[in-house]
Amino acid sequence: MKKLKLRQSLLLLLTAVIWGVAFVAQSAGMEYVGPFTFNAVRSVIGGIVLIPCIFILRKINTAEETGKPDRQNSDVNYSDEATGDNSGIKDANKSRSLLLTGGVICGIILCVASTLQQVGIKYTTVGKAGFVTALYIIIVPILSIFLHKKAGFKVWLGVVIAVIGFYLLCISENLVLEVGDLLVLLCAFGFSLHIMAVDYFAPKVDGVKMSCIQFFVCGLLCSVLMFLFESPDTGLILAAWKPILYAGVLSCGVAYTLQIIGQRGMNPTIASLIMSLESVISALAGWVILNQRLSLKEMCGCALVFAAIIIAQLPQKKGA
């Protein structure tokens, strides 16, 4: 059991590393193509990569199942047909409809959030973008209040600390919020809505299939915007093949699958804490790969934001 938990923790840590370094790939990609072009190609690649993942995870699930054989299910279906009961078919159609609806809604939100992030990264550093984006971990429980879900004391404490950290990280000496930081902050709200949408649909449908659909929807929408507002150049897209492939294959396809496998049986709080290291990795990656250094003031802001993320994820006492 300990070995299994260690393996899952390592998978989630690898997920955080992939997502953290993805900020560097996104920044590098903007040197060649526009944000809509980058997200369009990246999202389509992510959707394609998830297609074989669907079959792989299905085999894993089948191997782990200890339920009744399929023959019993087929017998029930034959019995339903004989009695004229179409409830099984109706349930299947309803499930497919819900899967499609969830994929489309999540894809639209993902398109908006990822576009805000991609444009924001153009005007700010990778490290700042990583920490500001990670604020979705605090924003989600705040937005959940509108769904009549209570936010505990630790969440509100995390909000206060995060606001102070955000001030140190993003507000200049002239008390001005830079455009890039504002866009990334808006993207954090977008990803918060995305998480809430996933939280609603994922328990009802196949999460990987829904993710595959959302990537294709996001890719389609970004493609439309790409042709409307940008002039896509095949040569430049090929020149940016490294960051695009990293963002599409590793960040979208591989990391998402690792998250699904790594979170199985893992305490959600611990899983979130491990994956929140993505913000730290992004700052380290920006420093090592892009030589983007943070000032002492910005580093203090990063530390406070990360502390707020951890505090907000600490388990609440019953009745709190």
Distance CA 115, CA 150 (A): 31
Residues 6+ apart with CB under 8 A from 108: 217, 218, 221
Name which residue leads in pLDDT, 253 or 234: 234
pLDDT at 221: 97
Strands (E), the chain: none
Average pLDDT of every residue of the chain: 85
Judged against a pLDDT cut of 90, whether residue 113 lies above it is answered with: yes
pTM, whole model, 2 decimals? 0.83
Which pLDDT tens digit goes with each residue over 67-110?
555 544 444 444 454 455 566 677 778 889 999 999 999 999 99
pLDDT at 28: 94
Q: Which string of b and e fits 265-303 if b means at least 16 CB within 10 Å? A: ebeeebbbbbbbbbbbbbbbbbeeeeebebeeebeebbb
- The mean per-residue pLDDT over the stretch 128-150 comes to 86
Distance CA 304, CA 320 (A): 24
248: left (phi over 0), alpha (psi -120 to 50) or beta: alpha
pLDDT at 198: 86
Lowest average pLDDT, out of 8-22, 225-239, 255-269, goes to 255-269
pLDDT at 74: 45
- The mean per-residue pLDDT over the stretch 166-179 comes to 82
- The mean per-residue pLDDT over the stretch 253-267 comes to 78
